[in-house]
């Protein structure tokens, strides 16, 4: 199986596996227990927190370990609601992950203002500038990189605007960490990340807060994480997560440009050999590993299963979205209608995806294009629909 669904989740890398096993062997004690061995586990937890803080270039006290980005995103909106007045609103981009949108709607049922994106998939910065001066903005939430299209958002600019206006800013950076520079987030009030997007284990993540951001616990009933998240800490998970982020950071320094070229080569090949394929967000800055495509014919499920039969794993969109009925809210926000969205595919590679795999995928897609286009129409011609 050649895996091209890294934005959904990633395989555990060797350094993460070793860190998990070694921490499980040596530091399996409950960090809250009163004997020496538990104190060593506690020290190991804090050393690991320091390593993550140094990657993010923030103070260690600002980091809370949790179960992943969904929990982090929920925690942020719960925190914003706790200190917000009754008329408060939140500004949320229309392409956020469902865990952001659902949390915003739960905690601010009357006060969610969705900020649209243009057809290139980038959030409307001008609109944020206008809306930020609304009297009761409790929080602005814009992701760093979109999970479906890979399009990068101007989150650093928005963080600056928020600082100037005294409005808390949340950035879901789940797709950024492990792929791009982790050390740029010091001006955000809340940042969420999760290990399974960068070759760490599932079910472990972190929330970074600014010194001034309020962050009451979502998980009650324990004083762990300085009273900010109840529940016995998953120390092996934390050790594995931080080791995998360090490893990705090293890879990033060596090979980001090379990887981006491999992705671009796939795009060129597909554009040349499968006419009328649209590459979503092509004009925008994107993650080096992601291609979102609108194929010229045939439902995306048929592409996925044919490609699977040829030994490739690609996705129809986000993993979370694919289980639910209806087209992607991200493509919809970019003005792509449901008929075209039903032909969308997402290809996302990893740091170690070799050139030959990208080339083999392009060839397989061309093969599937020929098979499907001749099976779709009795005359054997491609059923081309422009988007
Ligand atoms: N945010 C984004 C942008 C994601 O891509 C994901 C993963 O699908 C999440 C949040 C949820 O992360 P987790 O699986 O750690 O809860």
Quick one: pLDDT band at residue 195, thresholds 50, 70, 90?
A: very high
Q: Which atom of ligand 1 is nearest to the CA of 205?
A: 15
pLDDT value of residue 325: 54
In tens, the pLDDT along 311-343 reads 999 999 765 544 555 789 999 999 999 999 999
Please identify which of the residues 171, 215, 320, 356 carries the catalytic annotation.
320
pLDDT value of residue 253: 85
Give percent of the chain with pLDDT exceeding 90: 90
CA 288 to chain centre: 13
In tens, the pLDDT along 224-249 reads 999 999 999 999 999 999 999 999 99
Q: Does 383 have pLDDT greater than 80?
A: no
DSSP secondary structure letters along 58-87: S-GGGEEEES-HHHHHHHHHHHHHHT--TT
In tens, the pLDDT along 219-229 reads 999 999 999 99
In tens, the pLDDT along 124-163 reads 999 999 999 988 999 999 999 999 999 999 999 999 999 9
Q: What letter would DSSP give residue 147?
A: T
pLDDT value of residue 323: 53
**Mean pLDDT, rounded, for 266-291:** 97
**From the CA of 320, how far away is ligand 1's center (Å)?**
8
Quick one: pLDDT band at residue 255, thresholds 50, 70, 90?
A: confident
Ligand 1 pocket mutation pick from 6, 65, 68, 287 by most atoms within 8 angstroms of CB: 68
Is 224's C-beta closer than 6 angstroms to any atom of ligand 1? no
Average pLDDT, the chain: 94
In tens, the pLDDT along 5-17 reads 999 999 999 999 9
**From the CA of 18, how far away is ligand 1's center (Å)?**
24
Ligand 1 pocket mutation pick from 69, 193, 241 by most atoms within 8 angstroms of CB: 69
pLDDT value of residue 376: 63
**From the CA of 173, how far away is ligand 1's center (Å)?**
9
**Mean pLDDT, rounded, for 276-304:** 97
Q: Collect all residues with Cβ–Cβ distance below 8 Å to 4 and sequence separation of at least 6.
A: 312, 313, 314, 315, 347, 348, 349, 353, 357, 361
Residue 320 annotated in active site: yes
Q: What letter would DSSP give residue 202?
A: T
Helices (H) and strands (E) in the chain, counts: 13, 12
């Amino acid at each position: 199986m050649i895996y091209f669904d890294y934005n959904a989740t990633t395989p555990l890398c060797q350094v993460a596996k070793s860190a998990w096993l070694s921490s499980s062997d040596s530091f399996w004690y409950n960090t809250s227990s009163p004997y020496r061995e538990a104190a060593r586990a506690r020290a190991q937890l804090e050393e690991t927190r320091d390593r993550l803080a140094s990657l993010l270039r923030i103070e260690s006290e600002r980091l809370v370990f949790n179960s992943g980005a969904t929990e982090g995103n929920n925690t942020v909106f719960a925190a914003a609601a706790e200190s917000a007045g009754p008329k408060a609103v939140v500004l949320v981009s229309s392409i956020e992950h469902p865990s952001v949108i659902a949390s915003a709607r739960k905690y601010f049922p009357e006060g969610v203002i969705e900020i649209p994106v243009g057809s290139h998939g980038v959030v409307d910065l001008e609109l944020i500038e206008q809306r930020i001066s609304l009297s009761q903005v409790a929080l602005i939430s814009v992701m760093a990189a979109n999970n479906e299209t890979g399009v990068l958002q101007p989150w650093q600019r928005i963080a600056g605007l928020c600082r100037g206006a005294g409005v808390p800013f949340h950035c879901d950076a789940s797709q950024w960490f492990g792929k791009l520079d982790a050390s740029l987030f010091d001006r955000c009030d809340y940042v969420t990340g999760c290990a399974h997007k960068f070759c760490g284990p599932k079910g472990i993540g972190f929330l970074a807060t600014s010194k001034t951001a309020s962050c009451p616990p979502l998980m009650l009933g324990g004083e762990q994480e300085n009273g900010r998240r109840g529940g016995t800490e998953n120390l092996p998970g934390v050790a594995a997560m931080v080791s995998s982020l360090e490893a990705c950071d090293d890879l990033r320094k060596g090979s980001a440009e090379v990887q981006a070229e491999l992705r671009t080569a796939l795009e060129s090949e597909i554009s040349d050999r499968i006419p009328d394929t649209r590459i979503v967000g092509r004009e925008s800055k994107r993650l080096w590993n992601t291609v979102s495509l609108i194929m010229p014919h045939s439902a995306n499920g048929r592409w996925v299963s044919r490609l699977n039969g040829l030994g490739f794993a690609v996705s129809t969109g986000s993993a979370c979205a694919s289980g639910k009925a209806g087209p992607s809210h991200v493509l919809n926000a970019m003005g792509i209608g449901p008929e075209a969205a039903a032909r969308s595919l997402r290809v996302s590679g990893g740091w170690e995806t070799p050139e030959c795999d990208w080339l083999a995928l392009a060839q397989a897609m061309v093969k599937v294009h020929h098979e499907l286009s001749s099976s779709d129409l009795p005359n054997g011609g491609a059923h081309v629909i422009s988007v």
